[in-house]
Amino acid sequence: MGIDLPVIWALIIAFGLMMYVVMDGFDLGIGILFPFIHDRIDRDTMMNTVAPVWDGNETWLVLGGAALMGAFPLAYSVLLSALYLPLFFMLVGLILRGVAFEFRFKADEAHRPIWDKAFISGSYLATFCQGVAIGAFINGFSLSGTTYTGGGLDWLTPFSVFTGIGLITAYALLGSTWLIMKTEGALQSRFKSMTRPITLAVLIAIAIVSLWTPAEHRDIAARWFSFPNIIVFSPVPVLVVITTFAIQHVIKKETHAAPFFFALLLLFLGYTGLAISLWPNIIPPSISIREAAAPPQSMGFILVSALFVIPFILGYTAMSYYVFRGKVKAGESYH
Amino acid sequence: MFGLTALELARIQFGFTISFHIIFPAITIGLASYLTVLEGLWLWKKDVVYLELYRFWSQIFAVTFAMGVVSGLVMAYQFGTNWSHYSAFAGSITGPLLTNEVLTAFFLEAGFLGVMLFGWKKVGPGLHFFSTMMVATGTLISATWILASNSWMQTPQGFEIIDGRVVPVDWLKVIFNPSFPYRLVHMTVAAYLATALIVGASGAWHLLKKRDTPAVRTMLSMAMWMVLIVAPVQIAVGDAHGLMTREHQPAKIAAIEGHWQNQPGASVPLILFGWPDMTAETTRYALEVPHLGSLVLTHSWNGQIAGLKDFAPEDRPDSTIVFWTFRVMVGLGFLMVLLGFWSLWVRWHKVLFESRNFLRFALIMGPAGLIAILAGWMTTEIGRQPWVVYGVMRTSDAVSNHSALELSVTLILFIVLYTAVFGTGIRYLLKLVAKGPGPLDGHFPEPSPETGRPARPLSAVPDRLDTPIILGSERR
C-alpha cells in the first residue's frame, strides 16, 4: 500500500489533540481566571463568551481517546493505565466544570456560589492533571518490552508537577487573551492588565521546561543541540521569544483579536517543540508509532469514517465560531 | 475495600460507570424514535396535541442526551485505564468499532441535533422532520457499533491471533458475529419499551393529579399501545436470544438456570426460585416446574442443556447473581405484558383515563424498563465471566495492574461524584416531567437572533433548577 497509515493516524491524533488544547484551553482558562473576578455580571459575561462552544471543544478529547484506541491500541493501553490517576482526576474536573457550567445558569442566587466553586475547582483540577500527564509523558515510562512495569505513582515527579503548574499559566493566557477579544470597556482593561504578568509567567515556564527536559534526557538534548538540528530547530525558541514580546507590545494599545492569535501561536510553538523532542515515539522513551500501530486492517477501516466525518466536524465548528463572533455585552442573557 | 481484590474492584468500577451511562442512551434511543413518530403525526394530522408533546419530550431528550455525553466521556477512557491488557490485546477490533461510534455520534450532534432542537423557525417543516429522523437514525447507528463491539466479546469470530494480539481478518464477520443480531434487536426493543413505560408513567401521574388534558391523554394512550404490542414481542426476541446463547455460551445458560447436572434421559425442570450455591454445587430451596426448562430452552419435551458441572469450576460464571438478575428481568417483562393487557381491558371499557388502580400500576411501572435493562446487562456480562473475550481471554488477564487502594479511592470518588452530578440531573429531569406538556404559546427554544446565544442541548430547557414547581398552579 502506498499510504503510510501509522503516520497519517499519528498526524490525525496530534491534530485532534492540538485542537483540544487550544480550544478547551481558553475555556478552561476562563475557569482559572474566575477567582480574580468577583462581580456576578462580569462572571456571567465571561461564561457567556464560551457558552456556545465549550462542549464542542471537548468533542476533540473524546475523539482523541477513541482514535488512539483504534489506531494505536498499545499506546492507548500503556499510556492510559500508566496515567490512571491524573486522567481520572482530569475527568472528575471536566465533569465538575461541565455540569457546573450548565447548572449555574439554572440555579438561584443561593446555590450559584456552589456551582461557581465547582466550576473553578474543576477547571484548575482538569488543567493541572493535563499538565502533569504531559510532564509524565515527556519523562517516559518504565517498560519491559511492550508492558508497563512502573508503579501507580510514577507520574508524580517534580518535573510533572511543574508542567502541571506551567499548563495552568498557559491556559490562563489563552483565557485572558480570548476575553480581551470577546469583552469590552472596563472588563477588557482588567484582562489586559492581567495578561502582562501571565505572559511573562508562561515565557518563564516554557524556558524552564526547555532547559529541564534536555538536562534530564540525553537523547532529547542530542536531538536539539546536535548539528545541523540546532540550526533547523532554532526558529522555534526564537519565535517563542518574539511572540511573547509581541503580546506584551500589542496590549499596550487598543487591541482585540491580536493577543489571542499570538497566544495560539505561542501554544502551537510549544506543541511543536514537544513533537520535535519526542517524534517518532508514541510511548516514550522507546516505542515508536510504527511499533504501537494497530494492524492495517484496523487503521484503514476507521480512516474511511474519519475522512468522512472530520471535515463535517471542522465545518460545523468553524460555523459556530463564525455565528458567535463579536463582543459579548454585559447582561446579555444566556437563554 | 471490604476485602475485595483489585480485579473485583475494577469490575465493580466498570459496572458502576457503565450502568449509570446506559440509562441515558437507552432513553435517548427511545425518545428520538418517539419524537420522529410525534412529528410525523403532527405533519400528517395537523393536530396541535402532537406538537405540544414533541416540544415537551424534546426537552427531556435534550437533558438526557447531555448526561449521556458526560457519562460517556468516562467510558472512552475506562478501557485503557482499567483494562489495559484487554485494550492492548483486542484494541485492534474494539478500538475501531468504538471509534466509529464516536464519529457517528459527533456527526449526528454536529449536523442534525441543533436543527432538531433549535431550528423550528429556521428551516421548513420537511427539513426539520428529516433532521429528527436523522437524529433517531444516528442513535440507532451508535447502538449498532456499541453492540457489535460487545457482541464480538461474547461470540468472537473473524480474527486471528498473531504475536499475542488480535488481528481482524474479516470485518463483516467481526461485526455480524452470531450474537450481534439478537443483541441489537433485544436492546433496541428494550430501549423502546423502557421509554414507553416512562412516557406512560408520566401520563398516568398527571391523570392521577387530575391534570387531564388532551396531550396527557394522548401520551398515555400511545405509550400503552406501544407496551401492549412491544412487550410480547420482546419476550419472543428474548427467547430467540436465549436459544442462541445456549448454542454459543452454554455455561451462561446453565448459570442462569441454576442447572448443575443432567440425569440420563431426564428432562430439565425450570427452577422458578432458588439459591444457587457455587461452593456446594447445588441450587438450594429450588422450586421446580418439571419439563418446563426443556420446553423453554430446547423447545422440546425432554431436551437437555449442559449443566454447570460440565464445566471446570474456574470456567463457571457466578450462578447466584445471574440466576437472580435474569429473574428480575423476566419477571418485570411479564409485568409489562400484564400492563399492556390491562390497558387494553380498561380501554375496552372506556376507563383508560379514569381507572385509578390501572393508572397507579402504570405509574409504578415507570422505571421497570430501565431496571430490566440493567438486570439484563448484568446477566449477559456477569454470565460471560470468567472471560472478557469469550473463550479467548480471561478477565483476570485483561485488568490493569492497579492496586486495590487506588481502585478503592477512585471508585468511592466516582460514586460520590456521580451521585451528586447525575442525582442533580435526574432530579431536574423529574421536575421537567412533573411539569407536563403545556399549551403551545408559539414559543420554541432557539438562539435569539439579537444576542446570538447558544444552541446546545441544555439551552432547550428553560426551567430554573432550584425553583420549586408548585404542582398544579403552573398551568391553566
> Measured between beta carbons, which residues in chain B are less than 8 angstroms from residue A69?
79-80, 87, 91, 94-95, 98-99
CB contact under 8 A, B107 and A91: no
* Location of C-alpha cell 466498570: B14
d(CA B433, CA B429) in angstroms, rounded, equals: 6
> Measured between beta carbons, which residues in chain B are less than 8 angstroms from residue A62?
72-73, 76, 102, 106
Residues forming a β-bridge with B165: B162
Q: Cα dist. A37→A191, A215, B2, B161 in Å?
A: 10, 39, 45, 58
Q: How far is CA B196 from the centre of its chain?
A: 13
Do B219 and B286 share a domain, yes or no?
yes
Q: How confident is residue B456, by pLDDT bands cut at 50, 70 and 90?
A: low
Structural domain contains residue B35? yes
pLDDT for position A332:
59
pLDDT for position A335:
37
pLDDT for position B464:
54
pLDDT for position B9:
92
Give me the residues of chain A with pLDDT under 70, please.
Answer: 1-2, 55, 331-335
Three-state secondary structure call for residue A327: coil
Asked if B429 and B31 touch (Cβ cutoff 8 Å), the reply is: no
Do B222 and B297 share a domain, yes or no?
yes
d(CA B219, CA B202) in angstroms, rounded, equals: 9
Do B93 and B67 share a domain, yes or no?
yes
CB contact under 8 A, B91 and A48: no
Instruction: Check CB contact of B101 with chain A, cutoff 8 Å.
Output: yes
Structural domain contains residue B372? yes
Do B211 and B351 share a domain, yes or no?
yes
Do B343 and B368 share a domain, yes or no?
yes
Reported as a single tens digit per residue, the pLDDT across A211-228 is 999 888 888 888 888 888
Q: How confident is residue B358, by pLDDT bands cut at 50, 70 and 90?
A: very high
User: Which of B15, B64, B337, B26 is CA-nearest to residue B190?
Assistant: B26
Do B238 and B145 share a domain, yes or no?
no
Do B329 and B294 share a domain, yes or no?
yes
Structural domain contains residue B415? yes
Work out the minimum CA distance from A145 to partner chain B, whole angstroms: 13
CB contact under 8 A, A77 and B84: yes
Q: Which residue of B has its CA nearest to A92?
A: B417
Q: Which of B348, B377, B397 is the last residue of a domain?
A: B397
Enclosing domain of residue B286: 193-397
Q: Which of B73, B406, B465 sits opposite A62 (nearest CB)?
A: B73
Enumerate the domain spans of chain A: 7-323
Q: Which of A58, A102, A332 sits opposite B451 (nearest CB)?
A: A332
Q: Which of B371, B397, B423 is the last residue of a domain?
A: B397
Do B225 and B316 share a domain, yes or no?
yes
Structural domain contains residue B184? no
Q: And the C-alpha cell for A293?
A: 500501530
d(CA B268, CA B301) in angstroms, rounded, equals: 9
CB contact under 8 A, B456 and A52: yes
CB contact under 8 A, B107 and A312: yes
Of A176 and B75, the structure prediction assigns the larger pLDDT to A176
* Location of C-alpha cell 475527568: A91
Three-state secondary structure call for residue B354: coil
Asked if A275 and A14 touch (Cβ cutoff 8 Å), the reply is: yes
Pairing of strands B159-162, B165-168: antiparallel
Is pLDDT of B467 > 80? no
Which positions 67-86 of A are in contact with B (Cβ < 8 Å)? 67-71, 73-74, 76-81, 83-85
Do B234 and B369 share a domain, yes or no?
yes
Do B136 and B204 share a domain, yes or no?
no
CB contact under 8 A, A63 and B91: no
Q: Which of B367, B397, B427 is the last residue of a domain?
A: B397
ipTM of the complex as predicted: 0.85
pLDDT for position B443:
52
The backbone torsions φ and ψ at residue B388, rounded to the nearest 5 degrees and listed phi first, read -95, -40
pLDDT for position B204:
95
- The Cβ of residue A185 has, within 10 Å, a number of other Cβ atoms equal to 10
Q: How confident is residue B468, by pLDDT bands cut at 50, 70 and 90?
A: very low
pLDDT for position A117:
92
Instruction: Check CB contact of B403 with chain A, cutoff 8 Å.
Output: yes
Q: Which residue of A has its CA nearest to B459?
A: A335
Residue of A5, A297, A316 best to disrupt the B interface, most CBs of B under 10 A: A297
Asked if A21 and A133 touch (Cβ cutoff 8 Å), the reply is: no
pLDDT for position B473:
32
Instruction: Check CB contact of A249 with chain B, cutoff 8 Å.
Output: no
pLDDT for position B441:
59
Structural domain contains residue B149? yes
Q: Which residue of A has its CA nearest to B99?
A: A66
Is pLDDT of B451 > 70? no
Reported as a single tens digit per residue, the pLDDT across B33-54 is 999 999 999 999 988 899 999 9
The backbone torsions φ and ψ at residue A128, rounded to the nearest 5 degrees and listed phi first, read -60, -45
pLDDT for position B111:
67
Do B329 and B419 share a domain, yes or no?
no
Is pLDDT of B369 > 60? yes
Average pLDDT, integer, range B254-275: 87
d(CA B297, CA A141) in angstroms, rounded, equals: 51
pTM check: above 0.90: no
Of B428 and B174, the structure prediction assigns the larger pLDDT to B174
* CATH number, domain A7-323, options 1.20.1630, 3.30.70, 2.60.40, 1.20.120: 1.20.1630
Average pLDDT, integer, range B26-38: 95
Where do the DSSP E strands lie in B247-298? 270-277, 282-289
Of A310 and B327, the structure prediction assigns the larger pLDDT to B327
Do B265 and B234 share a domain, yes or no?
yes
Where do the DSSP E strands lie in B244-379? 270-277, 282-289
Is pLDDT of B424 > 50? yes
Q: How confident is residue B471, by pLDDT bands cut at 50, 70 and 90?
A: very low
Is pLDDT of B329 > 60? yes
Structural domain contains residue B187? no
Three-state secondary structure call for residue A293: coil
- Number of folded domains in chain B? 2
Three-state secondary structure call for residue B160: strand
pLDDT for position B442:
52
Q: Which of B76, B109, B454 sits opposite A51 (nearest CB)?
A: B454
Share of chain B above pLDDT 70, in %: 91
Asked if B24 and B64 touch (Cβ cutoff 8 Å), the reply is: yes
Which residue type does A215 have?
A
